[in-house]
Structure 1
């Protein structure tokens, strides 16, 4: 794999087991245009997945780990399903013609849980964007797909692969931590050598000033 990995608490070990299973599934995702460059980028994959998972409770992590293990045992690839679900928003016609019938049906309860989680996530994302516009601007658009998958579409696609139990636990976590996106971004900033998002935002501002002064 790569060099980046945290091995501290029992929670770290749980997260690492999740990421290892996800990475294996990610390697087996077949893209329309061939293998994507991100499938060879372990470090970025680990940083992004760890930073998200570290904001979850251990109950939620264990439930999601069970989702992954059950999927693996039954021959399902949750990463393939995630990207397929996302195409409902990024390429609706292809999704309807080639993907929808092969994906697990979504129960009404799962739909309600996902809608509530995503609604809270978007509030957290917009709050973060107001505080750190440069970091937010360097990432996915929040609400609408503008040439790339938005935070909303990505989140819906991923959440559809979770079990109802995992979704219920995650909803609890999201409700308890309205600054979850800030915590995720703090972790990402620290992985990249910054003291926090404040320092990362300042660095991006400095780069903008440097470009303008040329």
Structure 2
């Protein structure tokens, strides 16, 4: 039986393979030269979602590869307006609204760690990414969002907490406090 960690690792590796194949207008993007950063960010993104989501999305990725699709190319094409949104599932807007509200709350609480003005870029990115998901995967994601609301959880906050631990900063609160201290020390200097 495959463990959750193995499943998430396969998801991230399949995404990375697609990401590395994206052809940008100006050549390879700088972020394509940083696969470890990609792995970290994608692991953080998926780690707070359910096994049902991971299983469904992994199946999407496998099926997409078999069909010759590159979800990353599709996502960036939607983001850049090269192709119109192609997935009409109404749950995409609901998921996006919740995730963006959570992100905005975290940016308000930790303004030095999470840039408040990054919300629009996040909104476009998430909406474009959700375009590539199957109905089953969107349903699993919507279930995660509904569960988080019922449990009064903030999925964006959970992602940032994971990221801070991975980067060795302890927690969002610890990182924010350290940045405040460094900023006030610099202001006195």
| TM score, norm. by length of structure 1 | 0.81
Paired residue secondary structure (1:34): coil
* Alpha-carbon separation, structure 2, partners of 1:17 and 1:140: 32
Instruction: Give the corresponding residue for 2:187.
Output: 212
Q: Deviations over 1:166-209 (max 9, x none)?
A: 00110110121141011000000001002111111122223322
**Residue 10 of structure 2 corresponds to residue 32 of structure 1:** no
| Structure 2: 5+ residue stretches without partners | none
Report the TM-score when normalising by structure 2. Answer: 0.91
State the Cα distance separating 1:130 from its structure 2 match: 2.0
Would you say the 8 A contact 2:78–2:128 is kept in 1? yes
Summarize the alignment of residues 59-208 of structure 1 with structure 2, pairs less than 5 Å apart.
59-88=52-81, 95=82, 99-100=83-84, 105-107=86-88, 110=89, 112-137=90-115, 141-142=118-119, 144=120, 150-177=121-148, 178-208=153-183
Please give the secondary structure, in 2, of the residue aligned with 1:136: coil
Deviation at 1:140, TM superposition (A): 6.1
CA positional deviation for 1:37:
1.1
Identify unmatched segments of 5+ residues in structure 1: 1-8, 89-94, 145-149
2:80 is paired with a residue whose SS is helix
Instruction: Verify the 8 A CA contact 2:7 2:55 in the aligned structure 1.
Output: yes
Whole-angstrom CA distance in 2 between matches of 1:140 and 1:20: 30
Question: Deviation per CA, 1:2-34, whole angstroms, max 9, x where unpaired?
Answer: xxxxxxx92111100000101111110001111
**Counterpart residue number, 1:12:** 5
Cα distance in 2, alignment partners of residues 83 and 50 from structure 1: 19
Alignment of 1:46 with 2:17, yes or no, is no
Q: Distance in 1 between matches of 2:186 and 2:72?
A: 38
Distance 2:8 2:72 in 1: 16
Q: CA RMSD in A?
A: 1.7
Check conservation: 2:164, 2:171, Cα contact below 8 A: yes
Q: How many residues end up aligned between the 2 structures?
A: 184
**Contact preservation (8 Å) 1:19, 1:49:** yes
> Aligned residue for 1:91?
none
